Amino acid sequence: MAPMKLYGATMSWNVTKCAVALEEAGAEYEIVPIDFATGEHKSPEHLARNPFGQVPALQDGDLYVFESRAICKYACRKNKPELLKEGDLKEAAIVDVWLEVEAHQYSPALTPILFQVLVKPMLGGTCDEKVVEENLEKLKTVLAVYEARLSKCKYLAGDFISLADLNHVSMTLCLFATPHASVLDAYPHVKAWWAGLMERPSVQKVAALMKPSA
């Protein structure tokens, strides 16, 4: 069967979030860059893949999936369902909890920081330090909860790796490209969790893809 196609540039953390899940699931896929500079993301071809004209989008044969977290779940269900613990009602529920925490706590605090520090200057704007400071405070509140959780178990959903952990990787890699990675220093269990994730071949491969020279 033809490899899946993941549409979007690897400078987008929503695209690389999917790449981590696809790598970890052992899926066959290729990345097809979409050129924002020429407005390719708003072209009829891309709107057919994602009607919001955004990246990422995934094509698997005649199936199109958009929304990064839905793509990640699809990759797991297709190639490595144990990353969702779907066979176990209770474990799957806890994986879901931490998937939601990533989407509704971690990501909303970190996204404005990454946008201000990494994206805005690329678009010719200047970083609003007030927005960064406000969201660093929000992020610290979230990290305190992670610290308590990770002092009880090795990974977020328990003593097993799951998609809930992996979905944090791409944005956290971006955090390390800002001057604010030291925010993690106050949370030793979070740092140890992150160091363990960084050792994974899937994470190393995607981290290399995210380097501007890649």
By CB under 6 A, name the binding residues for ligand GS8: 12-14, 41, 53-56, 67-69
- With vertex at residue 86, the alpha carbon angle to CA 198 and CA 20, rounded to the nearest 5 degrees, is 25
Q: Give the nearest distance from C-beta 151 to ligand GS8 in angstroms.
A: 29
Q: Give the nearest distance from C-beta 8 to ligand GS8 in angstroms.
A: 7
Peptide bond into 212 cis (omega under 30): no
**Nearer Cβ to ligand GS8 (55/166):** 55
**Nearer Cβ to ligand GS8 (56/83):** 56
Q: Give the nearest distance from C-beta 14 to ligand GS8 in angstroms.
A: 3
**Nearer Cβ to ligand GS8 (56/210):** 56
Q: How many CB atoms lie within 10 A of CB 195?
A: 9
**Nearer Cβ to ligand GS8 (54/105):** 54
Q: Give the nearest distance from C-beta 111 to ligand GS8 in angstroms.
A: 9
**Nearer Cβ to ligand GS8 (17/180):** 17
Per the CB < 8 A criterion, the answer to whether 84 and 162 are in contact is yes
Query: Nearest residue by C-beta to ligand GS8?
Result: 54
Q: Give the nearest distance from C-beta 184 to ligand GS8 in angstroms.
A: 22
Per the CB < 8 A criterion, the answer to whether 2 and 26 are in contact is no
Q: Using CA of residue 47, residue 115, residue 126, residue 34, what is the dihedral sign? A: negative
Q: Give the nearest distance from C-beta 158 to ligand GS8 in angstroms.
A: 25
**Nearer Cβ to ligand GS8 (83/150):** 83
